[in-house]
Amino acid sequence: MNCKLRRLDLLRNGQKSDCELHVWHPDKAKEGKRCPCIFRCHQVMLISASAEFERLIRDPEFQKNKRVLSVEDASSTAYEALLLYIYTYEKILPVATQVLKDNSFLKLSVKELKALMIILKQDGILSDHELLTSLKNYQEVNNLRYENMEHFQQFVEVTQLFGHVLFEVDGTMVLREADKPSPEE
């Protein structure tokens, strides 16, 4: 069995897993309740893929929580795609890029948008200018301004992936000249 298939099998079957990733989401059967989608994972795979996973795993709370990482910053589907990428190095980038290009990302929650931007920014296939332009489009379509403060604050957190992003008085994101690619790019 080739390495990629072996790693995929380890993820799907949870064989020799040494931690769990719990992605919390609303339970449709029990209104107002939340339940985890549980992924049985391997610390070495998570640490090798992400400094953020390494930070969470090295945190003393990880051991206190019986090697469980709990997250709520994106959907279980987004984390499943991320884990598939971590274990196989396939699938997520073409899907993530297509989601941006076909504008289906406009329907994502702000938390899902953040996960998508992290993936696309790390990969570097698209320029920061293209990603920031997409964020500006997302803001306009989803009317994320000061009057919708909770979601606006979450949106501002997403823009911080790109350093210092400016906003107009009404909360509209500004694309600066410095964010635009040079003519040779």
The predicted structure's pLDDT at residue 124: 80
pTM: predicted TM-score of the whole model, two decimal places: 0.53
Domain boundaries, the chain: 3-179
The predicted structure's pLDDT at residue 178: 60
Q: What fold, for 3-179? A: Potassium Channel Kv1.1; Chain A (3.30.710)
The predicted structure's pLDDT at residue 89: 74
The predicted structure's pLDDT at residue 65: 94
The predicted structure's pLDDT at residue 153: 93
Give average pLDDT by consecutive 10-residue segment, the chain, 185 residues.
78 92 77 83 92 92 94 79 82 70 82 81 85 95 89 93 90 79 53
* Spatial separation of the C-alpha atoms in residues 4 and 55, rounded to whole Å: 26
